[in-house]
Chains A and B, each alone.
Chain A
Amino acid sequence: EDKVVQSPLSLVVHEGDTVTLNCSYEVTNFRSLLWYKQEKKAPTFLFMLTSSGIEKKSGRLSSILDKKELFSILNITATQTGDSAVYLCAILTGANSKLTFGKGITLSVRP
């Protein structure tokens, strides 16, 4: 059975801090790893990672995948209160193109 484990489950930081969110996985027929941000509504797409070692960057957010060790990290630098959200990691697998999600990481950024 495919498994996606995110850690920590939740964290609270102050504005300006840097955070690292973790996602590890055990799946068959890996295709891609995706990160989403969810703010009390629909998840919104952040990154898609397919190859090891290639950092994806968007403003203060960056992510990288390690296919040997089966994990990914999402970094957020200089956090802002608007970064408060649930961050979801998902693995795309198989011929049926299934997305398997982790339970999510709740990030709270305090002023």
Chain B
Amino acid sequence: EAQVTQNPRYLITVTGKKLTVTCSQNMNHEYMSWYRQDPGLGLRQIYYSMNVEVTDKGDVPEGYKVSRKEKRNFPLILESPSPNQTSLYFCASKRDRESTEAFFGQGTRLTVV
């Protein structure tokens, strides 16, 4: 089954403790991206990657890092999480830069206390 898989689905952590949210897709998609969704603000892009080893900042990249060492995986790294990074995070992928339909993971609800 074609899918985008995020882990974990839920995470509660403390301020400053480094964490990684994994994202994996099995569709051989070139393009992957991370979003955060907050009440009243909608979905905002954090980072995106057009292909392996090609990543770039989205609208709200501060406090986040990503890597794209292989095509299927696009982890989101929070080196020193803060409470304002409490949010619902979505990973998405699409075939390539030209394609329009994005497939979303099930989301990761992160709480930083």
Contacts and interface: CB of A to CB of B under 8 A. Distances in A.
Interface string A4-45: 000000000000000000000000000110100000011111
A56 interface: no
* Chain A interface size range: 20 to 34
Interface in A51-110: 88, 90, 92, 95-104
Nearest to B42: A103
B56 A96 contact: yes
B105 A104 contact: no
Interface of B: 4, 31, 33, 35, 40-45, 48, 50, 56, 58-59, 90, 92, 94, 97-98, 100-107
Q: Is the interface of B mostly helix, strand, loop or mixed?
A: strand
A76 B97 CA distance: 31
Contact of B43 (A32, A48, A101): A101
B50 A97 contact: yes
Nearest to B91: A42
Nearest to A6: B42
A34 B41 contact: no
